[in-house]
């Protein structure tokens, strides 16, 4: 778990009417970010957070980046900035030219996927003797 509060993009930066999912807001404010390597959460106040935010409409969608995966995928998890329900879909911004396309119903579904992905890598490393 991280011991630092995750800073979110300000209401002035967000599309009009957009609301973060409450579970994400609570998690960010609590400083209890799950360990989900190779995924990591994007802090809006960092240079990385600012840079990724500037690329958020690169493919024509209105995206709010919140997490990135390194290693095997190198994708950015983003909230659908056009969704004003408070429970937006998670749309993936694919940075390579692979043609891959995937998304999640909401933050909870994405988080379950990220935890499973992280556990799979952890299991692989453990069984391969890399994680002693």
Render pLDDT for 61-71 as a digit per residue (tens, 0 to 9). Answer: 899 999 999 87
Q: How confident is the model at residue 25 (pLDDT cuts 50, 70, 90)?
A: very high
Burial label for 129, CB within 10 Å (0-12, 13-18, 19+), is exposed
Mean pLDDT of the region 96-115: 93
CB count within 10 Å of CB 121 equals 17
Q: How confident is the model at residue 132 (pLDDT cuts 50, 70, 90)?
A: very low
0.85 cut: is pTM over it?
yes
Burial label for 50, CB within 10 Å (0-12, 13-18, 19+), is middle
| Rounded-to-integer distance, Cα 108 and Cα 104, Å | 9
């Amino acid at each position: 778990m991280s011991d630092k509060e995750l800073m979110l993009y300000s209401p002035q930066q967000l599309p009009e009417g957009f609301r973060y999912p409450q579970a994400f807001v609570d998690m960010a404010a609590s400083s209890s970010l799950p360990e989900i390597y190779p995924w990591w959460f994007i802090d809006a106040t960092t240079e990385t957070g600012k840079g990724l935010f500037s690329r958020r409409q690169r493919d024509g969608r209105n995206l709010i980046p919140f997490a990135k995966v390194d290693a095997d995928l190198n994708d950015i998890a983003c909230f659908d900035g056009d969704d004003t329900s408070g429970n937006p879909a998670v749309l993936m911004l694919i940075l390579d030219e692979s043609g891959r396309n995937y998304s999640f119903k909401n933050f909870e579904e994405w988080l379950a996927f990220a935890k499973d992905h992280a556990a799979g890598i952890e299991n692989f490393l453990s069984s391969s003797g890399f994680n002693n």
